[in-house]
Structure formats: C-alpha cells, structure tokens
Amino acid sequence: MFAILRKELNSFFASSIGYLVIAIFLIINGLFLWVFNGDFNILNAGFADLNSFFFIAPWFFLFLVPAITMRSFSDEFRLGTIEILKTKPITDWQIVFGKYFGSLILITLALIPTLIYAYSIIQLGNPIGNIDIGSIIGSYIGLLFLASAFTSIGLFTSSMSQNQIVSFIVAIIISFFIFYGFEALANLGISETLRQFGMYAHFESISRGVIDTRDIIYFVSVTIFFLFISKLKLEIE
C-alpha cells in the first residue's frame, strides 16, 4: 500500500498538478474571503468568525477533489498499467487504499495553509482570541470527513471510465447529489428524514463543535461503501 501511496504522491508533485490544484484552491478561497467585496468577505462581516470559509469550502471541494482523483484509475486503465499493478504482490485493497490516502493527503496539504485564516480571525477578535475555537476545530474535522467521502466517490468514478473528464464530471454529479441533493429534497417538504441521508446535515452538525458518533459513522460508511465498490470494479478488470 505504501508503495502505491508514494507513487501517487510522486505523480502529483513530479508534475505541476499537485501544486496547481493546491494553489487554485487557496487563491480562490483567499479572493472570496479577503478581497472580493461580497457576503463572504470576512472583513465585511463585522465579527470574527470563519463561517464564510466553512460555507464555501465544501462547494470548492466538489470540484477540487474530483480534479485530484479523476486520473487515479483512469490513467491506469488507459495506459494498461493496471495489469502490471495487479501482478505485483499487493492486494486490490492495498491498491485502492494507496490511491485513496495519496489523494486524501494532497487535499489535507491544501487545507493546512488555511489555518492562517484561523490565526487571523483570532487576532481580529475583540478582545484577541474571542472566538469559538470549538466550532473552528469541529468545522476542520468536518472538512476532513467531507474530503474523505468525496475522495472515495472520485476513486469510484475514476475506476468506471478511462476518460478523465467523464470521471471528473460524474464525480461532481454524485458528490453534489449526496452532499446537497437530499437537503434540497427535504427543503421542498418531501420528507425531513431525507435530510439525514445527505452529507450537508452531518457536516453542519460537526461544524457546531460537537462530534456526534452518528455523524462519524455516516461519513465512514459512505467512504467505505465507495471504496468497496471501487475494489469490486478493480477485481473484474
């Protein structure tokens, strides 16, 4: 698994892909939060919190994560290197987990620089440090769970097609539906129960700073499910 993990990270950073993805994510966030004069601008909010960041970050993840995962299996199938991988003394699970953790580490690296936002908010508080630390920690944990689920979905769609663009688009559609589709259906008055099937409600719950085991089980279950069907797809190749 670690050999696959190293291979994935090397492929990201040996080219400009890894740096470009991280840079685009940080630049777009920075522009919305600190430069553009809109509802998401922290300096215009009048109070020190990171709600704007934690509101827009999941929507950026809908594009960032599929962009990272779209080539994971698609390239292997297109170039025929998947057959070489399967002849190595590693299991299908090790291949899947290696690619999963490789993508997740890259997403985590993209999140780490955003901690400067938290530091800035702490300094902007009146008095300094007068912010809800628990909520910020919970929101970051929620983003990691969200990234984990999106990554597993991206790996699955990558295993379904040799075309990276198709994988990218399908990953966005599935991720969007699971993230907000159930929330939208609940808002239409169809059924409040539907809300609990979507990621949005569980991410929102964790963002309050209270780590509920039901939310953790939900994200872990979604992640394992898509990794499992990715592994099944790999088996039949």
Backbone phi, psi, residue 129, to 5°: 90, 0
Helix, strand, coil percent content, the chain, rounded in steps of 5? 80, 0, 20
- The percentage of residues in the chain with a pLDDT greater than 90, rounded to a whole number, is 54
The count of other CB atoms within 10 Å of the CB of residue 156 is: 26
Q: What is the mean pLDDT of the chain?
A: 89
- Per the structure block, which two tokens stand in for 163? 């075309």
pLDDT in tens, 145-174: 999 999 999 999 999 988 999 999 999 999
pTM: 0.93
Q: How confident is the model at residue 198 (pLDDT cuts 50, 70, 90)?
A: very high
State residue 42's pLDDT score: 84
Reduce the DSSP state of residue 177 to 3 states and report it. helix
Distance CA 33, CA 40 (A): 6
Contact yes or no for 142/135 (Cβ under 8 A)? no
- Per the structure block, which two tokens stand in for 108? 């985590």
Distance CA 159, CA 69 (A): 10
Helices (H), 161-212: 164-176, 182-187, 199-207
State residue 56's pLDDT score: 94
Distance CA 173, CA 179 (A): 10
Distance CA 95, CA 100 (A): 9
Mean pLDDT across 195-218: 91
State residue 104's pLDDT score: 95
Mean pLDDT across 107-122: 91
Contact yes or no for 131/53 (Cβ under 8 A)? no
Question: Given a cut of 80, is residue 181 above it in pLDDT?
Answer: yes
Mean pLDDT across 133-147: 92
Mean pLDDT across 130-137: 83
Question: Given a cut of 80, is residue 237 above it in pLDDT?
Answer: no
Domain ranges of the chain: 2-235
Q: How confident is the model at residue 230 (pLDDT cuts 50, 70, 90)?
A: very high
pLDDT in tens, 14-43: 877 778 888 999 999 999 998 888 888 888
Contact yes or no for 209/137 (Cβ under 8 A)? yes
